[in-house]
Structure 1
């Protein structure tokens, strides 16, 4: 039967060139179950009754049962502050083993607790993904004096003053290690660092490019925002330096072997020399003997045109978080029924490069009060999760803050509905997708299923809750003629499928409904 006038046909576009997700391990490979990642922390995550690693170990069996195949853990390294999250990276080689920066444990717990959690992850077949913070360091052990020049923060290629001697916390001696852990005993100025944001001599905050003999300035192989976005924060590392490369490449091998992790989430890649990042990925894959080692990169921008050159440069070696889609989800939640749902995938990696996209609704950086605040409001949270969990484009990542009770961003109703969607993904969201974009405030799609897995029908609405019931006529295929579909998010609804495979599917206003084969 020809498509009805209100139906639009779509297919997931084929990206040109190699794609990352098809080349990487997304979880246990002996199953045809949909893979799924969880970010298992929030910015403020802490437990009063146990360490975070113990909490992870406790939850892993249930995460596996729910259908999660990967768990992205926070940076496991020693931070500059006692309760630092690890993004304030002090010592990558200290996993909670050495008495440094006020404690032996990291914010998340001890090395032994981390390794026990990693052992449990193997047993329950959930892969651990390490958050690798390789761009910068903080918490230097002493100051050094060196020549540097302040630069314009809006254009780091333009000097904002003359070269002068400053004092920076650039010496990293790691005295608590006792000489263990790294092939390098310390980081120090030499030629291995590029910039700082504090002159201890004058107590002045600015972005300083380290100058003098052996220093080559900012790398050109970084994002062009602010003229050159090599510098982000803290003490900026020069990834072109041979000793830096040796240390970080060795760390990549060591952290995988130590934890048994299956890959990396790379922090702040737009600020690092991309040639080194490529070298890091290929080296760790090769040395691990695992060509399918997982890797996803954080490149924070809502402009998909800025990410595409990076995707082309990396040639399928890493996936990228779909920040443009996240921004669309945030905008939709704020504009409510004024937002046209038919446009929500336009200009996203999910639409343009689905084979390279790791999709997400929110993360630790988007929570209210954070620098990258862009929280998807509760009125649209479940619609957003339905889009990333039940459609085939990209690879979804669920945020701990949306699923588990926490002080900052938990909503019990959202969490309950999210658990239903996760279950629907595991059981029903398979096969090709057919879109029915009937109106700006209600869209639907059909997942056709496979020979082994059933499909489903999904509707989502952003219309004011006072509006009437939405109804969309959709086709589930002639093979389903005469069957009955039941409502999944609420109980009691049924749809009879006619002889040609058509059914009248409904959804409440400002809600999500999933319809699945009965029986």
Structure 2
């Protein structure tokens, strides 16, 4: 994640505030506009993971409350292209109001309807526009993934803090009237001084407090249940999960179900595997990301032989080439997409790559290849400095494929062994016009264009 706001300073006025814990306060309240309802399609949604995820935003998308409508206008085309889910930015009102990208959350129940933090709408639009977007996505069989930011908060008022003997910005009184917070809900407090990590100078939420757990996932109108049952979100992307223990997103997800993925920003695959096992959900495959960066920016495809989460746990790896926080693979980026869209894992594509920067026809072709051909486990067939060849062995109704990535400046050819005997194959990218027939021993010669790729399967 990335925050585009200022850090809160600590005011050194020391006096004692006597206050009671809110752990017993469990009153049920709903937003004034909770009666905003739109019909949600009964059309079956695509199963998340059977297609490709679209990250439906980038950092500093246009402000002015237009973004939900922009995305709404694209979901039909994305669904037709083979997208199965869209990941939205944080949807609730944040400290910087209409300017915020949402990663400095203030009121979890203000989706652009209360005049607070300097605006009524969020940067992305109003509550009615958000619900209309979600309905339209569902009508196009797309699941909608919410970005959940629960490590830290921003925008609280100053209060005398008995745990720091100073004033801290930890007094939260959102206009929704839901999930009010004080010093008892942040670190340090009467439970402990800290948890796994803090983000900058923001108020660090304490997930061990029963009051916090009630509002995040236990109560009938908790964040988890309200987002699932009222706002109709289908899945969860947990931001900055290094900041709290893996049981936290696990409990949140257990309360409401749905697909879930964590942003554990670490290239150490052992650590990623540990986290997915503990949290019992997917993680973004930063191991794969950094190996692709080394391969394509370092012009050495041998890096693709390195360890990645998808090689350890393919059903829990969300692979990606770029996102709103990091976009380092500049050279031959389409080759990186050819890699993740032909290999195991659940690939996510970045809005700007798809809509602005890369050839959309090539991206759609790779999405089709992923959805229709890329089945079964993976066998590496050849890797050197300039060439990489791998085979998907087929399964779940898919014939499998052979992908040939060529990072050199000239056409390359190689003999490789397929899973097909005496069968005609073709390059489904259209880059090669060859249609060779495999030998009885399943061997065949294939080719790939310079600074390009080819993907072969049964004709």
TM-score (norm 1): 0.74
Give the unaligned 5+ runs of structure 2.
1-42
Give the Cα–Cα distance (whole angstroms) in 2 for the partners of residues 305 and 484 of structure 1.
38
Which of 253, 263, 267 aligns to 1:298? It is 263
Q: Does 1:193 align with 2:161?
A: no
Residues 53-74 of structure 1, C-alpha deviations (whole Å, 9 max, x = no match): 1112111111111111111111
CA shift at 1:30, angstroms? Answer: 7.3
Residues 243-272 of structure 1, C-alpha deviations (whole Å, 9 max, x = no match): 111111111100111222211001111101
Give the Cα–Cα distance (whole angstroms) in 2 for the partners of residues 512 and 47 of structure 1.
38
Aligned residue pairs total 412
Q: Does 1:363 align with 2:314?
A: no
> What's the C-alpha RMSD, in Å, of the aligned pairs?
2.5
- Cα pair 1:471 1:505 within 8 Å, conserved: yes
CA shift at 1:31, angstroms? Answer: 7.7
CA shift at 1:310, angstroms? Answer: 2.0
Distance change in 2, residues 1:262/1:423 (3 Å): same
- Cα pair 2:46 2:143 within 8 Å, conserved: no
Distance change in 2, residues 1:324/1:423 (3 Å): same
Distance change in 2, residues 1:266/1:145 (3 Å): same
Distance change in 2, residues 1:233/1:321 (3 Å): farther
Secondary structure of 2:298's aligned partner = helix
Residues 12-71 of structure 1, C-alpha deviations (whole Å, 9 max, x = no match): xxxxxxxxxxxxxxx9677899421111100122278x7211112111111111111111
- Residue number in structure 2 paired with 1:398: 349
- Cα pair 1:487 1:494 within 8 Å, conserved: no
- Cα pair 2:269 2:308 within 8 Å, conserved: yes
Which of 335, 338, 350 aligns to 1:386? It is 338
- Residue number in structure 1 paired with 2:455: 514
- Residue number in structure 2 paired with 1:490: 431
CA shift at 1:377, angstroms? Answer: 1.4
Give the Cα–Cα distance (whole angstroms) in 1 for the partners of residues 235 and 396 of structure 2.
31
Give the Cα–Cα distance (whole angstroms) in 2 for the partners of residues 493 and 487 of structure 1.
11
Residues 73-82 or 418-427, more deviating: 418-427
CA shift at 1:449, angstroms? Answer: 3.7
Give the Cα–Cα distance (whole angstroms) in 2 for the partners of residues 32 and 307 of structure 1.
21
Q: Does 1:331 align with 2:273?
A: no
Distance change in 2, residues 1:483/1:193 (3 Å): same
Distance change in 2, residues 1:284/1:33 (3 Å): closer
Give the Cα–Cα distance (whole angstroms) in 2 for the partners of residues 30 and 55 of structure 1.
22
Give the Cα–Cα distance (whole angstroms) in 2 for the partners of residues 29 and 127 of structure 1.
6
- Cα pair 1:345 1:351 within 8 Å, conserved: no
CA shift at 1:148, angstroms? Answer: 5.7
Secondary structure of 1:259's aligned partner = coil
Distance change in 2, residues 1:457/1:478 (3 Å): closer
Residues 384-435 of structure 1, C-alpha deviations (whole Å, 9 max, x = no match): 11121111x2111111121012xxxxx244x443222112222322344332
CA shift at 1:484, angstroms? Answer: 4.1
Secondary structure of 2:323's aligned partner = coil
Q: Does 1:131 align with 2:96?
A: no
CA shift at 1:332, angstroms? Answer: 2.0
Give the unaligned 5+ runs of structure 1.
1-26, 150-164, 195-209, 223-228, 286-292, 368-374, 406-410
CA shift at 1:102, angstroms? Answer: 1.6
- Cα pair 1:146 1:166 within 8 Å, conserved: yes
- Cα pair 1:477 1:500 within 8 Å, conserved: no
- Cα pair 1:485 1:517 within 8 Å, conserved: yes
- Residue number in structure 2 paired with 1:311: 276
Give the Cα–Cα distance (whole angstroms) in 2 for the partners of residues 489 and 47 of structure 1.
40
Residues 160-184 of structure 1, C-alpha deviations (whole Å, 9 max, x = no match): xxxxx3322211112x33x4xx2x4
Q: Does 1:39 align with 2:55?
A: yes
- Residue number in structure 2 paired with 1:200: none
